């Protein structure tokens, strides 16, 4: 009904349309949904990542102004290595007070050329100390895949353990390499560790899930009231590995990680072990 009411009016400029869209999306109360204008999008696509590896969430305070809180971090990324933790409040970037600014505006401030530095001030937790730190920007996607072969005591079998820290541009390529090396080394089954993996590129997660599924298995589907936008993504080839798989999850397994975990579980390709996931 709100949409119909808005469309009945006259929208005479692009900037006015952008304002209306922003307000409509804000009414959803969804921290993961936001509108980007074409100029904002071009800024974001200039770099491979937000600069120092963190996601920001806008939270209104008691006065109605916005606070920016760290919603997620790339494990061992620049911000995480400098001491930023989930739940910290970002106070300033390069000495500029960022209170009242949008998460996107501040993310743009954090971006910059490869290996340059940005100084940020954060407040740890809700009532912790305030700390200023100098963080080096990172542009190249580092491998998120760490793996090892573990021999089982008193048995001839070996376990291929693979920890995926995030789903980035090189995750699938490096996972394929790890799986092949572990198989060639005699791995009888695999443990896929997705604990504390907050996600990353959704498409990378989808492509990784396909590595374990049979051709035609459903990875994920979207549904809604409009049948025209319903979509189902299926695996288009056979699995890379057919040995048993165990997936480790915890309450910080989120987003693309939950897609991978549920796709493997629901298609009977893996057993889930751990805690209830984040629920994004």
Selection from 25, 27, 150, 135 nearest residue 78 by Cα? 135
pLDDT in tens, 123-157: 997 788 999 999 998 766 678 899 999 987 777 78
Other beta carbons within 10 angstroms of residue 269's beta carbon come to 20
Instruction: Using alpha carbons, select from 132, 238, 257 the residue that is nearest to residue 198.
Output: 257
> Would you list the DSSP string of 28-60?
TT-TT-----HHHHHHHTTSSSSSSSEEEEEEE
Active site residue 280: yes
Query: What does the pLDDT read at residue 189?
Result: 92
Residue of 108, 255, 257, 262 marked active site: 255
State the catalytic residue, choosing from 43, 102, 188, 280.
Answer: 280
User: For residue 206, what pLDDT is reported?
Assistant: 96
43 has catalytic annotation: no
Question: pTM of this prediction?
Answer: 0.70
Q: Which residues contact 144 (CB under 8 A, 6 or more apart)?
A: 164, 165, 166, 167, 168, 170, 171, 174, 200
Can you give the pLDDT at residue 47? Answer: 44
Domains and CATH numbers, the chain: 1-35 (no CATH), 43-137 (2.30.42.10), 145-274 (3.90.226.10)
Residue 267 CB partners (closer than 8 Å, separation 6+): 213, 214, 217, 218
Positions of the chain with pLDDT under 70: 31-32, 42-50, 139-141
Q: How much is the pLDDT for 140?
A: 62
Token pair listed for 2: 């709100």
Please give the Cα distance from 52 to 70 (Å, whole number). Answer: 12
Is the torsion defined by CA of 41, 45, 51, 52 positive or negative? positive
Residue 55's pLDDT is: 79
């Amino acid at each position: 009904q709100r949409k119909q009411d808005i469309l009945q009016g006259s929208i005479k400029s692009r900037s006015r349309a952008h304002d209306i869209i922003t307000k409509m999306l804000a009414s959803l109360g969804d921290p993961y949904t936001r509108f980007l204008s074409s100029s904002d999008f071009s800024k974001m696509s200039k770099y491979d990542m937000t600069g120092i590896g963190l996601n920001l969430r806008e939270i209104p305070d008691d006065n109605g102004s916005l606070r920016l809180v760290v919603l997620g971090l790339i494990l061992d990324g620049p911000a995480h290595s400098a001491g930023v933790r989930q739940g910290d409040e970002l106070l300033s970037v390069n000495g500029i007070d960022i209170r009242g600014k949008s998460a996107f505006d501040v993310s743009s401030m954090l971006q910059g050329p490869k290996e340059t530095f940005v100084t940020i001030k954060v407040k740890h937790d809700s009532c912790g100390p305030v700390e200023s730190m100098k963080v080096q920007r990172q542009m190249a996607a580092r491998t998120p895949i760490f793996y090892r072969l573990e021999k089982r005591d008193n048995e001839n079998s070996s376990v291929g353990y693979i920890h995926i820290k995030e789903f980035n541009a090189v995750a699938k390529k490096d996972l394929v390499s790890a799986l092949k090396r572990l198989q060639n080394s005699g791995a009888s089954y695999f443990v896929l560790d997705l604990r504390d993996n907050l996600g990353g590129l959704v498409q990378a997660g989808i492509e990784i899930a396909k590595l374990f599924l049979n051709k035609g298995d459903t990875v994920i589907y979207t549904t809604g009231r409009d049948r025209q936008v319903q979509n189902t993504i299926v695996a288009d080839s056979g699995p890379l590995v057919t040995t048993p798989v165990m997936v480790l999850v915890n309450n910080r397994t989120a987003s693309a990680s939950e897609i991978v975990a549920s796709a493997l579980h629901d298609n009977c390709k893996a057993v889930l072990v751990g805690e209830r996931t984040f629920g994004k």
